[in-house]
Structure 1
């Protein structure tokens, strides 16, 4: 599987109301990945409008702050 780019989690936008991370795609839409999917070990964000994908660079322990921002308890444990 080939990805368009590698993006650090801090460069993405987190939407607490949907618990989703987004990042602008060259096609004009946005790459998307859910917080829960990242907790489950997924690190590929996809664009719903085209075939491009990006790899999200993060450490599992980084996710705790985003659960807090979403007003949710962090699942236990947050570790790989």
Structure 2
């Protein structure tokens, strides 16, 4: 059995949805299907002997050069990342906590240039999204689904600026 605090360090700064090649709104069946496909592809027991020999030589070489045994491109490391991502996303509570962490990281990553009230944004009913012009000439776009999920930081689609959308949940 693995220690969950240890697991979080192994995949630090990696997006579990990207690791499993699914969207953030994927349902559990889609996540499970992708996990199984990737697990079969990257499982150490499924690799052919030649790849294992080459990987062991690379790991040994890296160990001599870097004094560590981490080969970032190894299939074993990929499999471990896949396993950790699956263990997190299959559990409803862990997934909600992880999604909150992703949202917080997104907020910290982008420097918010302004705070805009949702009422000041134009609502496009056809796409169920709110749009606000950016000073670069492009737009900030946030969907109703994103708002209901708690997202409030929006990046411009044309530059690196972002805004915080101020709104009240009903």
Q: Same fold (TM over 0.5)?
A: yes
Please report how far the alpha carbon of residue 46 of structure 1 lies from its aligned counterpart in structure 2 after TM superposition. 1.5
Please report how far the alpha carbon of residue 44 of structure 1 lies from its aligned counterpart in structure 2 after TM superposition. 1.1
Determine helix, strand or coil for the equivalent of 2:127: coil
Question: What are the equivalent positions in structure 2 for 1:1-80 lying under 5 Å apart?
Answer: 1=108, 2-61=111-170
Distance 1:57 1:26 in 2: 19
Distance 1:22 1:47 in 2: 10
Q: How large is the RMSD of aligned CA atoms in angstroms?
A: 0.7
Distance 1:27 1:48 in 2: 10
Segments of structure 2 that go 5 or more residues without pairing to the other structure are 1-107
The Cα offsets for residues 57-79 of structure 1, whole Å up to 9 and x where unpaired, read as 00111xxxxxxxxxxxxxxxxxx
Determine helix, strand or coil for the equivalent of 2:146: helix
Distance 1:4 1:54 in 2: 6
Distance 1:44 1:32 in 2: 10
Question: Which ranges of 4 or more aligned residues in structure 1 deviate by more than 3 Å?
Answer: none
* Bigger relative contact order, structure 1 or 2 (CA pairs below 8 A, ≥6 apart): 1
Q: How many residue pairs end up in the alignment? A: 61
* TM-score (structure 1 length as normaliser): 0.73
Determine helix, strand or coil for the equivalent of 1:28: coil
Please report how far the alpha carbon of residue 54 of structure 1 lies from its aligned counterpart in structure 2 after TM superposition. 0.3
The Cα offsets for residues 10-37 of structure 1, whole Å up to 9 and x where unpaired, read as 0000101011111010000111111100
